[in-house]
């Protein structure tokens, strides 16, 4: 198995209307997001990364491209690394308007995410999908290092699953934009570091 996997949330998105962008096209990185991606690329440049994998969504591919360029690699997109299907339910709506369209759902998401009976993909299913993808990608690079770029809840759910933590912690210490969460795989997955840009 891969000795090291770097999980990276995409950079900040240009989203002045605070839209739930879910899997909508043409939501690209903001100026700050591009700086964050450059920070991640610089931080990972000395690492012996063999491959860079990404969610197929624009913001993730753009972030992954910056990281991959520093290593002279091409980005490989993996559908199972995409955004949580829950966000597709709210897609296109401004976050402040969610409650008027879907009363009570945002509160349940924020306070009792394991009790959502309205989501097309449960937290457990999200964790299995993304965690399974990360495990499969790791298996393709024995004793190597890989970078995996995805989305906040997707990374958090996979991270909790792989390290044996409770999915009830979904909203605890969630990854920031371009935060690099490094996992080592021996007999079990172990989180060894977390580092994020401070801007």
**Quick check: 189 and 28 in contact, CB under 8 A?**
no
Instruction: State how many domains the chain has.
Output: 1
Q: E strands along the chain, which residues?
A: 4-9, 49-54, 75-77, 145-150, 180-185, 189-195
Q: What is the pTM of this model?
A: 0.97
Phi, psi dihedrals of residue 89, rounded to the nearest 5°:
-65, -35
pLDDT at 173 (0 to 100): 96
What does the pLDDT profile of the chain (199 residues) look like in tens digits?
Answer: 568 999 999 999 999 999 999 999 999 999 999 999 999 999 999 999 999 999 999 999 999 999 999 999 999 999 999 999 999 999 999 999 999 999 999 999 999 999 999 999 999 999 999 999 999 999 999 889 999 999 999 999 999 999 999 999 999 999 999 999 999 987 889 999 999 999 9
Q: Phi/psi zone of residue 103: left (φ > 0), alpha (ψ -120 to 50 degrees), beta?
A: beta
Tokens at 30, concatenated: 């903001």
Q: How far apart are CA 157 and CA 197, in angstroms?
A: 21
CA distances (Å), 123 to each of 112, 120, 196, in order?
11, 10, 24
We report the CATH number of the domain holding residue 163 as 3.40.50.1240
Domain residue limits at 63:
4-195
Measured in degrees and rounded to the nearest 5, phi and psi for residue 49 equal -75, 130
- Angle separating helix axes 58-71 and 31-44, nearest 10 degrees: 40
Per-residue pLDDT, 2: 65
- Give Cβ neighbours of residue 16 (< 8 Å, ≥ 6 apart): none
């Amino acid at each position: 198995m891969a000795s090291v996997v770097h999980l990276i949330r995409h950079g900040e998105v240009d989203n002045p209307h605070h839209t739930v962008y879910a899997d909508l096209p043409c939501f690209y990185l903001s100026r700050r997001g591009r700086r964050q991606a450059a920070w991640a690329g610089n931080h990972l440049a000395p690492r012996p990364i063999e491959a860079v994998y990404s969610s197929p969504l624009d913001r993730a591919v753009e972030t992954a491209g910056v990281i991959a360029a520093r290593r002279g690699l091409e980005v490989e997109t993996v559908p199972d690394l995409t955004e949580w299907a829950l966000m597709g339910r709210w897609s296109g709506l401004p976050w402040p308007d969610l409650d008027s369209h879907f009363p009570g759902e945002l509160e349940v998401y924020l306070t009792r995410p394991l009790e959502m009976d309205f989501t097309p993909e449960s937290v457990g299913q999200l964790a299995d999908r993304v965690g399974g993808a990360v495990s499969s990608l790791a298996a393709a690079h024995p004793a190597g290092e890989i970078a995996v770029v995805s989305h906040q809840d997707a990374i958090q759910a996979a991270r909790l699953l792989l390290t044996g933590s409770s999915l009830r912690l979904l909203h605890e210490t969630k990854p920031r934009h371009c935060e690099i969460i490094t996992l080592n795989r021996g007999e079990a997955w172990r989180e060894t570091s977390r580092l994020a840009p401070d801007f």
